[in-house]
Amino acid sequence: MHDLNFDEIYHVYWKKIFRLCMGYINDDEMAKDLCQETFIAVFQQLPNFRQESNIGTWIYRIATNICLRQIHVEKRMPKSELPYQMKDIPGKEDNPEQEKMTDFLYQCISELPELERIIISLELEGMKQKDIADVVGISAANVRVKIHRIKEKLTEKFTKYANPI
Amino acid sequence: MPTQYNFREIWNKKNTDIPSIEEVKTKAENYRKRQILKDVGMMVMMFLSAITVIIVWISARFSFFTTKLGIMLLLTGVFSFIYLIYQKVNILKKVKTTTTNQEYLLTMKKAEQQQIYIQTRGLGFYYILLSLGFAFYFYEFALKMSSAGILLSYGLTFSWGLFNWFIVRPRRIRKQREKMSAVMQSLERLEKSFED
């Protein structure tokens, strides 16, 4: 694959990387900034990309590391503990139920520990567990266990959300 | 029995428009230019400081070698301090983003530690240079002063040195450490989450 074309990569991966950043940070504007930062890095480093790994894995590594770098920026701004209901988002009162579910999923994921946010986002993007392991740097078996645990947590939150007491 | 949710389907419902690719390309290009400009600026500054030291050495009309040495030590101190500030920004940028998350965090942690080391050591070096610089610089003038004058000028210089060494320096170091420890803690917490 000699014709690694940035324009093509940009169009294939932009939405995927945006969703990943949204899962990490749950803020549209900040996610767009992280996404842009990722593609700037991809654009700059593409000439150095050696075909040792899959291009997707390579891009996801850059994106997730840029997300992790947020530790420096946000100075651990504590996220408020949200009850199992949606945050009030102006102008979204008349959202269809599906959109609310999507917002709730991104909110739940962004409240997980950083590593879990990355793993579940990559899993939901349809990445193979072996490739997730390759991005994160842990074993595929460990990835499998973590995905199982995270999905359990999410199911529990969704059940509470759907059936408030 | 909890309901099974199709998280992937819900996840993929998140939609947004793809921004113009030209914007990314322009930003990348501007970023590259800024980097080059910064590096060139740094080199020019280092070059100018070396030239200044040479000019001072040649043209300063002081009869004592110690006075010239004092000025040079002072200048070296100031320039190395500027260099340190530049380094602070630079170290983190050198961490490669194409590695795995685990490796990335490890290198980020090492870079942080290196930064703390450089900042604290560098600060010590800066104060030593400044104090020695002043001590040498005053020597020529002190010889022309009365003993009270000598006592006063050296007494003040050394009290200033001691004040900096024992009060200002530890305070700066503490502030630096406080700033970094929050980041370090987060990094260590993240590191542990890989082991779970």
Each residue of A143-157: pLDDT tens digit?
A: 999 999 999 999 999
Provide the pLDDT for residue A79. Answer: 47
pTM of the full predicted structure? 0.77
Least confident of A86-100, A134-148, B155-169: A86-100
CA dihedral B150, B155, B160, B162 (to 10 degrees): 140
Give the start-to-end residue ranges of the domains of chain A. Answer: 6-162
A155/B4 touch (CB, cutoff 8 Å), yes or no: yes
Q: List pLDDT tens digits, range A27-84.
A: 999 999 999 999 999 998 998 888 777 899 999 999 999 999 887 665 444 444 443 4
Tell me, yes or no, whether B180 lies in a domain: yes
Looking at the partner chain, which of B10, B98, B183 has a beta carbon nearest the beta carbon of A45? Answer: B98
Residue B111, number of CB atoms within 10 A of its CB: 16
Q: Decide if pLDDT at A90 tops 90.
A: no
Give the whole-angstrom CA distance, residue B27 versus residue B33.
10
Residue-by-residue pLDDT tens, chain B, 196 positions? 456 889 999 999 998 889 999 988 898 889 888 888 887 887 888 788 778 878 877 877 777 888 888 888 888 888 888 777 777 666 766 788 899 999 998 888 888 887 777 777 888 888 889 888 888 888 888 888 888 888 888 888 888 888 888 888 888 888 877 877 778 888 888 888 877 6
Distances (CA, A) of B158 to A68, A147, B66: 46, 63, 17
- What confidence tier does A104 reach under pLDDT thresholds 50, 70, 90? very high
Task: Identify the residue among B101, B105, B108 best suited for mutation to test binding to A, counting A beta carbons within 10 A and taking the highest.
Answer: B101
Q: Decide if pLDDT at A140 tops 60.
A: yes
Q: Decide if pLDDT at A88 tops 90.
A: no
B97/A22 touch (CB, cutoff 8 Å), yes or no: no
Q: How close B126 gets to chain A, by Cα (Å)?
A: 27
Single out the residue of A24, A131, A125 nearest to residue A68, CA to CA: A24
In one-letter notation, the amino acid at residue B170 is P
Q: List pLDDT tens digits, range A12-26.
A: 999 999 999 999 999
Instruction: Say yes or no: A21 contacts chain B, CB-CB below 8 A.
Output: no
> Complex ipTM above 0.95?
no
Mean pLDDT of chain A: 85
Single out the residue of A48, A50, A46, A51 nearest to residue A13, CA to CA: A46
Q: How close A91 gets to chain B, by Cα (Å)?
A: 16
Helix (H) or strand (E) holding B171: helix B169-195
Domain hosting residue B130, numbered range: 60-195
Tell me, yes or no, whether B22 lies in a domain: no
* Tokens 């690694």 sit on residue: A4
Tell me, yes or no, whether B120 lies in a domain: yes
- What confidence tier does A162 reach under pLDDT thresholds 50, 70, 90? confident
Class of domain A6-162: mainly alpha
Q: Decide if pLDDT at A3 tops 70.
A: no
Give the whole-angstrom CA distance, residue B190 versus residue A114.
7
| CA–centroid distance for B82 within its chain | 7
Tell me, yes or no, whether B6 lies in a domain: no
Tell me, yes or no, whether B27 lies in a domain: no
The count of structural domains within chain B is 1
Looking at the partner chain, which of A113, A126, A159 has a beta carbon nearest the beta carbon of B193? Answer: A113
Chain A residue closest in CA terms to B24: A40
Q: How close B13 gets to chain A, by Cα (Å)?
A: 7
Beta strands in chain B (DSSP E): none
* Tokens 């803690």 sit on residue: B185
Single out the residue of B136, B123, B7, B124 nearest to residue B73, CA to CA: B136
Task: Identify the residue among A72, A110, A144, A146 best suited for mutation to test binding to B, counting B beta carbons within 10 A and taking the highest.
Answer: A72
Tell me, yes or no, whether B143 lies in a domain: yes
